[in-house]
Structure 1
């Protein structure tokens, strides 16, 4: 603790407390009826024009000139504003009442609500969890990541995919955090659904630029999600039954309301429904499940303890019997995370959180074959695995010495164990057995300090620096990351904002599919592969109105050291050769030979109109952007458009509470088509067989020109839903009817050439597209008690 306080003193010795006698007011803000601590609540003193917000653990502290009477307002989206008149108190704990589905428009006065013009942070968007639940979704599965795809600056992947491509970055450049734990693969069902159960989440925030110094490790974005803590006032539950899955959440108090728990689960059941219809000799199926759990204990005002975890798996399997032979196999992948967090309040001005974190992602392929011939049985087994496992310790301090300064500092250390490939092969026919694993151990660390400073009322500045560190293969990398953001307020709740941030990334995702398959491999920076780095600058304006806000931002980002597979390479080549000698198996790094490094550019403008409160809510987001990459070993060394470069991207989201019993919602999206690489011509060649088996060989050769020079058809889609609510004495139920792709637009999933038509002049090749999802109706039933 002492070194951190010394660091505060050295970096921020210019803090002046002035000659005025001051008082500090601090406390926690909770939700009335559940006891949930509320992050992001605005605490405002109108007559002094001073304010702050609660941190992610619901704690606030504000130091003000001493006055006889202090009037303080507490407000947050979705809750009724509370106003308190105080005399000499130094502690005030507040409970906010949920606003419910009021049909009257909520009137918000200046300074009483958190507005985009009143914070220094830019390039950040939060979406209320209630809106996530009300937005229509594929097969009725509420998906936080797909809702984030509807925001400006976030490019969508392929049809129905949950991948996020933010300001030109790839999926590995997003730091996705669940209760302080990083999540490495966020997909179920080969990318069509994310693993986050919206019923268990309390908040979600996306930061895509202007990064404060407390964030690090990725280039493009931070997505921070917090689980609910559990209801401290009574036992409650909610759940639902949908087309492909069911879910259940239970929560309640423990230990005399000093503790609470929450546990949630979800599982698909398509495998159970189709199993009776499969032939006896052929079996197979796919399902996924996930579990969330959280416990907390309140030791009083100064200490709180939280234990939370996630566990989820996807499993695909098959088996068949033909004659005397049996084959079976499958794919499975999953995540496990755990976080133990301790909140400690040193004083009304100094708050600390210390966390021990575990995260593990694992992917496996297995295949088994048994053949019986002439009373002899031969057996073949193959097991391939890839994994990344983390153990982390971190501590963060919030210090609020005066209304003009809010300081944060902290440190983190992570031990990574990467296993890009672990292979086991057994073959009784040739008496062969191979077992090889090539784990790589690495250490990643970082220390940071930042200050949000108000030199005068109209100007807010967040300045900080992060020093990142990585140790691998005996090589050390240490890089400073300066951060700066500023906001200048203008009359009429206008603000002009600007930011600059440098980010470094020491872990990489090798992807050959682009659609979030579990075959994508996580690998570390090594002595041959340098870290990725980005520098981003953004400028913008923000305006708050009574019930909605508008932002316009322009950005430019340069990325260095980004990775891609070389032409013709993939994860299948990363296992090395079976003939590898015992001496070099442990050092096998074939994946390093399959990749190339390059650079990227991303620039453009984003516009967002967002309304979070009232009978009608939603947003309109538009992005105009250009994304280019360049690799010396790809495309002849020339620049090319990134696959998810989209010149135009538009999303319209609307939610309307027609009455307390009926909620209508809809989304419409439009985007320029993806950039794809297609052959320009093909011809047949004849010659010696590449294998040396056939004396003559005929094959078709494809002639490619510029990489990603072909544009797919534009993507657009309309989704609609209606929710029917009814309250009973002991519970509330909701029926939801939805239409995905309501006008059945045939959006391209991928393109292919059809050579089926032959003429006298030769083969008549036609370019065709495959569309994945036509109009899809769904129905779901949910309950809450």
Structure 2
């Protein structure tokens, strides 16, 4: 009897506490039921992998395919994966009501896009054999606060270690001690010779047409050639083959629109992206001194993608860019007085790519490339409709093909390419003017060809090798006249002793050689590795300029008998570490580069219409070295990175003992872009469903500039003279930017999505020096020129129709 009573009391207590537990569970947990289906046939997918806040959660579905999850009240990031399907990510706000989540996953086996399949997942930082490689998605770039609301690829690059520029509105970037022309910038395989709009204010790449980029600044694959410093490989999105899509934005600087339209469903699609500025009115609203200023640009990108069958794809990429900029500065040429100076420059690029898959392991890619870069300077003649123009240009034709063979042990690529250069160094076109003579520097024609092989091979479980070998050959072609100079005198118009004329089809000079590339990776653990890299690169095309940043009027020149190609050797080593399921990444890299035949200008050089450019230039050697540290957080509500770089970039030029044959007495001197200390930080914070905040901070040591060493007085006028180049530095540069993006999550269930972005560039109004100029006051005084000396707010509306 006592036993029965005890059992009854125990049962009542258990029932009571179980009820309390269930009640407590109802109060503290919410039920999430997830049903995962195949997007094409709506079939149930069981055994999906679910991550909550990027942490693995192991559980199976029930017999109906429903995955049940219990979460406390709060904000969560869910990632749902299934083998063979694209991952699905969603931000979930859990309140008090149960949630039923239906997820449709896209089967990647049904897509035939031109992509590189990488099985290393989020562990690339450690597992990738190459070092000095930074992939950037356009989504990541768009999170960086933009100046005047313009998403900018080049400004995104400058937030990475080892990447700097000479200052605000600089035309290009300097990477690991390289000049701007030592970067090979590709947009869907086509080279970009001027990557900025409005003299460096914005990059020319339309953000909605770009899917991402790869920056190679350490290990350079053998398939790339022609530059001595780095490769910036930018690729446009493939158009949707399933449904119509539209994205765009409206800002104070420009308006943009991108449209994707399937022409034949699942077979043929087209993407068109346009951007145009309409900001001339802003100058008219400003002070009277700006009323004659005009500045506008537009660009247009398109891509046609045709999936012929399961083995063949064909794609065409086109790009058009045009800039116009007018200043009220008066200019003179000959006896012509100009009312203003106008800069008008354009780029036309096109590429056609055929991809053929022999099998899952073997494929062939063939690409034809065309580029036409045409800068022009216009001088409107006073009291006339005539404009005197200074024109130059580069026409670039390339045909290349590569064969790729992938096995479990090897990733082999063999390729061949040939490039035809046709350069117009400068033409003075007087138009109808009677006081200006027609002048034209001889065209430069040349051919660059190459063949290469590269392989990635696992020597053991811990040691991986990536090896490439390229052989390049270059010919300077006629028609051209080559001078002979007195070897005992500096090259000038007064030291010519003879000349030789080469007809069309004849080679006046040729260069070539092997370019080995090597990368070794030793795995310390699943989350850490050590890497070593070596690259030798040859550059046959370069910019010769006596300005700090290359302008549209800067002269491009190919190698000839006297301008030898630049040869660069880069050594690098690094330690790479990931932590907490690859959420955090850390890298420490060191590098050393030496470059032969770097080019610089003689004191007082003048390149305009100069037919024999060797009389205005000198060649020597350069060296660059540095250490780069970077820590990044890839996942979570707060993402971003911080990095620090210590680097130096020095040149030495000494051909002879004469003053005209050396710079700084033949000693090493800092380059224009030598900035020893650099610190960057960027963070993006997702605050709930509605708000996202972004911050960036930039600090750089001031770049060098040249002050006169003394003065010479003549007729009561003091004239400066210069003995040392880059003997002083401008003030250090630092800036803080801010952005606030407001989303409307209620629109996510509809095809139209819109968001507002408010940004402030230079938040605390730092008056950074862009350049230094001299005025004859009490001898000669130096003043700094500031472009953006106050905070610059902007407001942008972005939209999507998917």
TM-score clears 0.5: yes
2:780 is the counterpart of 1:768: no
* Cα 1:284/1:620, change in 2 over 3 Å: closer
CA apart distance, 1:710 = 0.9
TM-score computed with the length of structure 1 as normaliser: 0.79
After TM superposition, the structure 1 = structure 2 runs for residues 492-531 of structure 1, keeping only pairs within 5 Å, are 492-531=526-565
Find 2:523's aligned residue among 489, 493, 504. Answer: 489
Aligned to 1:470: 474
In structure 2, relative to structure 1, the CA distance for the partners of 1:367 and 1:637 (3 Å cut) is same
Q: What residue number does 1:392 align with?
A: 398
Displacement of 1:647: 1.4
Q: What secondary structure, in the 3-state scheme, does the structure 1 residue paired with 2:89 have? A: coil
Name structure 2 gaps, 5 residues minimum: 1-37, 41-76, 95-118, 331-336, 478-506, 655-661
Is 1:777 the counterpart of 2:793? The answer is yes
Distance 1:471 1:771, change over 3 A: same
Contact 1:463-1:483 within 8 A present in 2 as well: yes
C-alpha distance 370-704 of structure 1, shift in aligned 2 (>3 A):
closer
**Equivalent position to 1:600, from 622, 631, 648:** 622
Bigger drift between 672-681 and 300-309 goes to 672-681
| Structure 1 residue 217 displacement after superposition | 0.8
8 Å contact 1:284–1:319 — kept in the other structure? yes
Q: How far does residue 382 in structure 1 lie from its aligned partner after superposition?
A: 2.2
**Aligned pair count?**
654
- Which residue of structure 2 lines up, in the alignment, with residue 533 of structure 1? 567
Q: 1:336 aligns with which of 348, 356, 361?
A: 348
> Contact 1:293 / 1:308 at 8 angstroms: preserved in 2?
yes
CA distance in 2, matches of 1:608, 1:639: 30
Decide whether aligned partners of structure 1 residues 103 and 120 sit closer, same or farther in structure 2, where only a CA change above 3 A counts: farther
**Aligned match of 1:5:** none
The aligned residue for residue 108 of structure 2 is none
| Secondary structure in 1 matching 2:404 | strand
Q: Is structure 2 residue 375 aligned with structure 1 residue 363?
A: yes
Q: Alpha carbons of 1:152 and 1:327: their partners in 2 closer, same or farther (altered >3 Å)?
A: closer
Q: Does structure 1 retain, via aligned residues, the 8 Å contact 2:439–2:609?
A: no
Please tell me whether residue 719 in structure 1 is matched to residue 724 in structure 2.
no
Does 1:434 pair with 2:434? Answer: no
Contact 2:399 2:417 in 1 (8 A): yes
What pairs up with 1:174-213 in 2 under 5 angstroms?
Answer: 174-213=183-222
Match of 2:67 in 1: none
Per the alignment, residue 565 of structure 1 pairs with 601
Alpha-carbon distance, 1:711 to partner: 1.9
Contact 1:153–1:606 (CA<8 Å) still a contact in 2? Answer: yes
Matched, 1:96 2:86: yes
Alpha-carbon distance between aligned partners in 1 of 2:373 and 2:781, rounded to the nearest angstrom: 42
Query: How far has the Cα of 1:397 moved from its partner?
Result: 1.5
Q: Superposition pairs for residues 238-253 of structure 1, below 5 Å?
A: 238-253=247-262
Residue pairs, 1:97-496, within 5 angstroms: 97-100=87-90, 112-161=121-170, 163-272=172-281, 285-317=294-326, 327=339, 330-369=342-381, 371=383, 381-400=387-406, 402-425=407-430, 429=434, 433-434=437-438, 436-473=440-477, 474=507, 475-496=509-530
Q: For 2:681, which of 647, 652, 658 is the aligned residue?
A: 652
The verdict on how the C-alpha distance between 1:404 and 1:680 changes in structure 2, with shifts beyond 3 A counting, is same
Q: Would you say the 8 A contact 1:465–1:481 is kept in 2?
A: yes
Q: Distance in 2 between matches of 1:328 and 1:765?
A: 28
Q: Shift of the alpha carbon at 1:615?
A: 1.4
Q: CA deviation at 1:483?
A: 1.1
**Distance in 2 of aligned mates of 1:440 and 1:766:** 42
Partner Cα distance (1:283, 1:719) in 2: 30
Question: Deviation of residue 570 (structure 1)?
Answer: 3.6
Distance 1:429 1:156 in 2: 43
Over 3 Å counting, the alpha-carbon distance change for 1:263 and 1:618 in structure 2 is same
Deviation at 1:769, TM superposition (A): 2.0
Query: 2: CA distance between counterparts of 1:369 and 1:299?
Result: 55
In structure 2, the CA distance between the partners of 1:493 and 1:320, relative to structure 1 (3 Å rule), is closer
Match of 1:132, SS state, is helix
Of residues 340-349 and 771-780 in structure 1, the stretch that sits farther from structure 2 once superposed is 771-780
Q: How many angstroms apart in 2 are the aligned matches of 1:509 and 1:593?
A: 15
Counterpart selection for 1:551 from 580, 584, 587: 587
**8 A Cα contact 1:319 1:326, kept in partner:** no
CA 1:561–1:393 in structure 2 vs 1: closer, same or farther (change >3 Å)?
same
Cα distance in structure 2, aligned partners of 1:350 and 1:413 = 23
**RMSD of equivalent CA atoms:** 2.7
Is the partner of 2:155 in helix, strand or coil?
helix
Conserved 8 A contact 1:79-1:97:
no
CA distance in structure 2 between the aligned counterparts of 1:97 and 1:751, rounded to whole angstroms: 52
Change (3 A) 1:316 1:79: farther
- 8 Å contact 2:80–2:89 — kept in the other structure? no
Which sits farther off after the overlay, 378-387 or 391-400? 378-387
TM-score (norm: length of structure 2): 0.77
Shifted more, 468-477 versus 703-712: the winner is 703-712
1:711-769 residue CA offsets vs partner (Å, 9 max, x unmatched): 2211111001110011434411111111111111111112234555xxxxxx3765432
Conservation of the 8 A alpha-carbon contact between 1:313 and 1:332: yes
Distance 1:651 1:298, change over 3 A: same
- What residue in structure 2 maps to residue 60 of structure 1? none
Asked whether the equivalents of residues 544 and 550 of structure 1 are also in contact (C-alpha less than 8 Å), the reply is yes
